[in-house]
Chains A and B, each alone.
Chain A
Amino acid sequence: MDLADLKAGRLSAADYASNFADAHPPLNRPQALIEAERCYYCYDAPCQTACPTGIDIPTFIQRVAQDNVRGAAEAILTANPLGGMCARVCPTEVLCEQACVRNTNESKPVEIGLLQRYAVEGYLAHPGKPLFTRATPTGRRVAVVGAGPAGLAAAHGLAVHGHDVTLFDANAKLGGLNEYGLATYKVAGGFAQKEVDWLLSIGGITPRLNCRLGRDITLDGLLTEYDAVFLGLGLAGVNALGIAEPELPGLQSSYRDAVDFIAELRQSEPSQVAVGRQVVVIGGGMTAVDAAVQSKLLGAEQVTMVYRRGIDGLSASTHEQHWAQTNGVTIRCWARPLAVEAEGGVLTGMRFAATKLEGGKLVDTGEQFTLKADLVLRAIGQTFDAAPAGAAIELQSGRIKTDDDGRTSLARVWAGGDCRAGGKDLTVEAVEHGKRAALSIHTALTGVAHG
């Protein structure tokens, strides 16, 4: 039976190349020098306070201005070993750049993200001698489970202090969301793996890929073999829409999770990824935007993001919303999915119920409508899958409960990143979790205070 009008190769090779190129091209040297000059070198800089990893932003920008790219990179990477990826994916418009004092008179902050990218990538292009050297090996062994931003930051921090790290990940490549979960145009040039390679160059980190907690290894087993464990498990589960989903042949490819669609795009040539002519994306977060925009860039004619509440409720930032709209995505609010529509066993669309707020509660208005679709992507959020870590670890709101340093309820077990309760699901926050947990583990293992 025919599938919906879902196919790869809708565009020319040139269109794929330009559509999936760097969304925000890096600054060249003259641009960086001019932009760096705009930094006022604030005292107790608000941008630094706004950065979850506390990068000394005035210092790194001053070094860029003085043409000292290596020194700039050192200032960044000391505070944030994934400063390169964060420069590309941080929502700077709500973090450092929102805090920039230039906003007051100009509504145009210093382009901190682009300058950070200039510094880190300029350094990585000509790294020279290592920026960080490993302390004398301590003989202590730490298992880091999950090689996403939190796990990578933890592994790097632990390795710097001389501990031996085994870095487990269920996937075939290191990087976690950096490798599988971000839109291709955000990480052009294979940057995720370049950054991983640099992080591992410190030494003392042994990757173990295709190794899944709960299947290939267990927490108890790790605690037997290692002195400490850091869990950077991410969010392995996907929220269900909570509607009846018919058994249709081929439904798997025309009605799928946005995270899988995004991962497929990262692991394939865009020209190999199938997309419909009409795409509906359900959800209002960054994942929804990444999926919707990339659908458009793959050649879909009509892409609609549907969100059940009003525009103010979208978790995608205003910047991300504008990015979606600029790329031709329609954002439709106040509608919740009701049913998958099909004809002759083929997906034809999604039926929605219009919603409104009534007394603070979201209710149906009674109106319904159908959006035609050959492809429906679900992006209504991910959940922490607690099972692999075992029942003993204490949770809070469905994620792992920790103290500020990432200590869990279990002795010798730390956790960080999206699997840790109380966060905002930001890459830069995950890095800070990993960085702090590494220091905490180091202190616990050696009895030496942070240093």
Chain B
Amino acid sequence: MADLSTNFLGIKSPNPFWLASAPPTDKEINVRRAFEAGWGGVVWKTLGEDPPVVNVNGPRYATLWSQDRRVIGFNNIELISDRPLQTNLDEIRRVKRDFPDRAMIVSLMVPVNEASWKAILARVADTGADGVELNFGCPHGMSERGMGSAVGQVPEYIQQVTEWCKTHTKLPVIVKLTPNITDVRFPARAAHAGGADAVSLINTINSIMGVDLDTMVMSPSTDGQGSHGGYCGQAVKPIALNMVAEIARDPATAGLPLSGIGGITTWRDAAEFIAMGCGTVQVCTAAMVYGFKIVQDLCSGLSNFMDEKGYTSLDDFRGRAVPTVKNWNQLNLNHVDKAVINQDSCIQCGRCHIVCEDTSHQAIFATKDGQRHFHVNDAECVGCNLCVSICPVPGTITMRALQPGETDARTGRVIDGSYANWTTHPNNPMSTSCS
């Protein structure tokens, strides 16, 4: 069986699945249940200065559902821990003592002054915790008070606070980044410059889940008013994966340890983040949807995948996908894919035809010899993948790469197997070579 253990910044955990700083890690009873269920580590819900913050006593969560009520996206307007600091610290100490093999990271958020950070770091170090995570991501409530994403959106603040923390604690410092910025590389570079041991990302995305059309009030609402909250869950995974990749392939931050967060729901999601360079992955929404037992399914799936692929440890495939992420201008414009419909498994729903006909390239025929029959017209197919995306039967429509010597029926060009990208394309006025 594959070894799922991780050593992230010297912090060991039996598997890469950490619970992210969020309601599931709010207090001792939850975290004990999580460890008993098998979670490799937790990032304790963010601690701040006393007196504790106050949460609303109404809906803190709202949900984007599929038709059959599967949770696709999720948002929240919870603040950081609303319990006294010492209560949290006492509980952290007790739980860490009882589960020494699990990672115990403490998330922190205090005002932007050195004394505040110094004071809380000292108290955290006393608990025996393994590391701290600086919450520069929370996009609601705390940001209005100059903390959370208000810090994370200003690289200079990130660097400054990170430097203070590195000065005042020996614990590893993880900087948690907000996605509510235009280019995640800048805050990541700032954290790196400040001496961060790692960055974790993404925190939640600013969002309003909806509007109640009977009352004309946004949701979630508290007594007739609402506030934007942080969006997470499966729907945000592609955004998170891109941001992780941007940092992983940025020469300025290459090699900076990453803890991946954002919509991780299945072992596949986790494996993808690891392949994109993450040392650990953090999960929240999946636990809030299914309960803590889900970690056993994540571990089982990841372990079986690794056995099947012959990976003995996570390091065997960590970061393997990073070199495949390029700027668009590096993509091979000589490569040609065509869609292929497997007639044996096609159920004749015709969705590929109508979406191609209406919204793409009119490249799927609906009849053959007068009969309902869906097949690709190579003379029009540009290989866009729309048909693959909407086909309800897995594996029925696939893309086939034309091989050298084959002729692209659309352009009449013979595939010669050569590589050429936009930088050298004759249509590019900025091309480096037009010959």
Contact = CB atoms under 8 A, between A and B. Distances in A.
A34 B67 contact: yes
A33 B372 contact: no
Interface centre among B347, B351, B353, B366, by most A CB within 10 Å? B347
Contacts of B369: none
Interface in A74-120: 101-102, 104-105
A50 B67 CA distance: 26
Contacts of A105: 347, 393
A247 interface: no
A42 interface: yes
B68 A43 contact: no
Nearest to B66: A37
Interface in A38-61: 40-46
Contacts of A43: 349-351, 353-354, 366
Contacts of B353: 43
A75 B67 CA distance: 21
A104 B343 CA distance: 12
Contacts of B347: 101-102, 104-105
Nearest to B350: A43
Chain A's interface size range is 10 to 19
Interface string A2-37: 000000000000000000000000000000011011
A40 B67 contact: no
Contacts of B428: none
B348 A101 contact: yes
A65 interface: yes
A42 B67 contact: no
A45 B67 CA distance: 21
A178 B280 CA distance: 66
A61 B354 CA distance: 18
Nearest to B355: A43
Given A44-B372, A46-B372, A33 B68 contact: yes
B352 to A, nearest CB: 8
Given A43-B366, A46-B372, A65 B67 contact: yes
Interface centre among B349, B372, B392, by most A CB within 10 Å? B349
A36 B349 contact: no
B67 A33 contact: yes
A34 B392 CA distance: 16
A37 B67 CA distance: 6
> Which 8 residue pairs across A and B have the least CB separation, nearest first?
A43-B350, A37-B67, A43-B354, A104-B347, A101-B347, A42-B349, A40-B349, A101-B349
Interface of B: 66-68, 347-351, 353-354, 366, 372, 392-393
17 contacts: A33-B67, A36-B67, A37-B68, A40-B349, A41-B351, A42-B351, A43-B350, A43-B354, A44-B372, A45-B350, A46-B372, A101-B348, A102-B347, A104-B347, A104-B348, A105-B347, A105-B393
